[in-house]
């Protein structure tokens, strides 16, 4: 096997930057950079220095992250605010040469705050539409909040099904995976699937392997957000590999929310302790994502640099880069077109 490919190498970094990429696990609300939060706060009469936002974002455990997420989303109050967030997201994506992304929207939070989900979504789509001509294709995931319960999740699923023709491809569920059992949401997921949506679940982030198993067996997840706890149980890993259930892994997020420390059983756990290599080498489909890149001060290219820290090798890194295209909720013909373009570019850059 070849030696690890260093993403810190200037030549490699430049070539990788030029590579077309896909991202499957990124929350619109988590892309709000400090300057954008300052601009939003100003609209509502709050004078925030950027340093205050940066301080809020400096989380090291899951509960602190949830509080920061609630705070920053409190400045998304009207469709115009979501439109601004969408424009900034598109700028960030194209700067990294991301050509396809499935973006998660916290529809459950919108509903909690009595917002018009459809109006917000229309503003987001209109803001993003001009970027399609520049090579960025976006699809959308409506996310429920687990601790809000199944009735609230059903309302999110209803909105998602109603907007499927406008680019919503999946129904997902985030929040505190330890708050309520998966069985409470089985009917909601069945409803979403009957309405033509794919099934997504955040699981195995702060929960254990059983949470991943429930996501697969009870909720029928086609992909799982995070899922790193699966590495603790060979049977769960074997099930994911056998069913080709993909894991959307976000290493820096796992570090900043304390999920990696929980998995490793050490407060000082760092990237070499990450189970991604073990999961990948077990035959589980893996894609790499940023989760909440502004909040975690990361980019997709930086996430790929963590693979070098973990000791992954060139063919493995390139396979994971392809994994986001393979795992996309797109028709097979569309995926094949994107993969051909990825491979052609990678070959021209000497990366394959």
Non-local (6+) Cβ contacts of 64 within 8 A are none
Per-residue confidence at 351, pLDDT binned at 50, 70, 90? confident
Q: What is the DSSP string of 264-329?
A: HT-TT--GGG-SHHHHHHTT--EEE--BSHHHHT--HHHHHHHHHHTT-BHHHHHHHHHHHHHTSS
205 a catalytic residue: yes
Q: Are 202 and 223 in contact (CB under 8 A)?
A: no
Share of the chain above pLDDT 70, in %: 96
pLDDT for 239: 98
pLDDT for 5: 47
Q: What is the DSSP string of 204-258?
A: SSSS-HHHHHHHHHTS--SEEEE-GGGGG-HHHHHHHHHHT-EEEE-HHHHHHTS
- For residue 17, pLDDT beyond 90: no
Per-residue confidence at 16, pLDDT binned at 50, 70, 90? confident
- For residue 6, pLDDT beyond 90: no
- For residue 334, pLDDT beyond 60: yes
- For residue 226, pLDDT beyond 50: yes
- For residue 7, pLDDT beyond 60: no
* Weakest-pLDDT range from 95-109, 259-273, 325-339: 259-273
Mean pLDDT, residues 232-256: 97
pLDDT digits (tens, 9 = 90+) for 289-320: 999 999 999 999 899 989 988 999 888 999 99
Mean pLDDT, residues 68-97: 95
More confident residue, 268 or 195: 195
Per-residue confidence at 3, pLDDT binned at 50, 70, 90? very low
pLDDT for 267: 84
Structural domains present in the chain: 10-348 (3.20.20.140)
Q: Which of 23, 33, 205, 248 is labelled catalytic?
A: 205
pLDDT for 335: 95
Compute the distance between CA of residue 238 and CA of residue 209 in angstroms, rounded to an integer: 12
Q: Among candidates 299, 302, 303, 298, which has minimal Cα distance to 288?
A: 303
Mean pLDDT, residues 331-335: 95
- For residue 11, pLDDT beyond 70: no
Mean pLDDT, residues 82-100: 95
Query: pTM of this prediction?
Result: 0.94
What is the average pLDDT value for the chain, to the nearest integer?
93
- For residue 230, pLDDT beyond 80: yes
pLDDT digits (tens, 9 = 90+) for 136-190: 999 999 999 999 999 999 999 999 999 999 999 999 999 999 999 999 999 999 9
Q: Are 314 and 352 in contact (CB under 8 A)?
A: no
């Amino acid at each position: 096997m070849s030696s690890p490919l260093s993403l810190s190498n200037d030549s490699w970094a430049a070539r990788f930057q030029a590579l077309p990429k896909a991202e499957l696990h990124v929350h619109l609300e988590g892309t709000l950079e400090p300057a954008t939060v300052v601009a939003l706060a100003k609209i509502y009469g709050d004078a925030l220095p950027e340093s205050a936002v940066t301080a809020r974002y400096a989380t090291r455990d899951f509960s602190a992250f949830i509080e920061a997420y609630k705070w920053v989303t409190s400045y998304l109050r009207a469709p115009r605010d979501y439109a601004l967030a969408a424009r900034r997201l598109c700028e960030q994506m194209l700067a990294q040469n991301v050509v396809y992304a499935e973006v998660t929207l916290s529809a459950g939070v919108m509903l909690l705050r009595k917002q018009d989900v459809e109006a917000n979504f229309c503003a987001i789509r209109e803001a993003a539409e001009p970027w399609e001509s520049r090579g960025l294709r976006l699809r959308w995931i409506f996310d429920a909040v687990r601790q809000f319960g199944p009735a609230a999740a059903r309302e999110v699923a209803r909105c998602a099904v109603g907007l499927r023709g406008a680019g919503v491809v999946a129904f997902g569920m985030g929040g505190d995976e330890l708050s309520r059992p998966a069985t409470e949401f089985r009917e909601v997921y069945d409803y979403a699937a009957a309405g033509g949506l794919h099934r997504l679940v955040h699981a195995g982030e702060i929960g254990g392997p059983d949470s991943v198993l429930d996501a697969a067996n009870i909720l029928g997840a086609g992909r799982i957000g995070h899922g790193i706890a699966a590495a603790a149980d060979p049977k769960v890993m074997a099930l994911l590999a056998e069913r080709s259930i993909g894991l959307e892994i976000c290493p820096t997020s796992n570090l900043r929310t304390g999920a990696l420390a929980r998995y490793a059983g050490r407060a000082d756990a760092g990237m070499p302790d990450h189970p991604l290599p073990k999961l990948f080498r077990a035959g589980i489909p893996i894609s790499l994502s940023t989760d909440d890149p502004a909040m975690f001060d990361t980019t997709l290219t930086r996430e790929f640099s963590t693979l070098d820290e973990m000791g992954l090798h060139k063919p493995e890194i390139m396979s994971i880069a392809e994994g986001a295209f393979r795992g996309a909720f797109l028709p097979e013909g569309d995926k094949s077109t994107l993969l051909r373009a990825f491979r052609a570019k990678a070959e021209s850059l000497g990366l394959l």
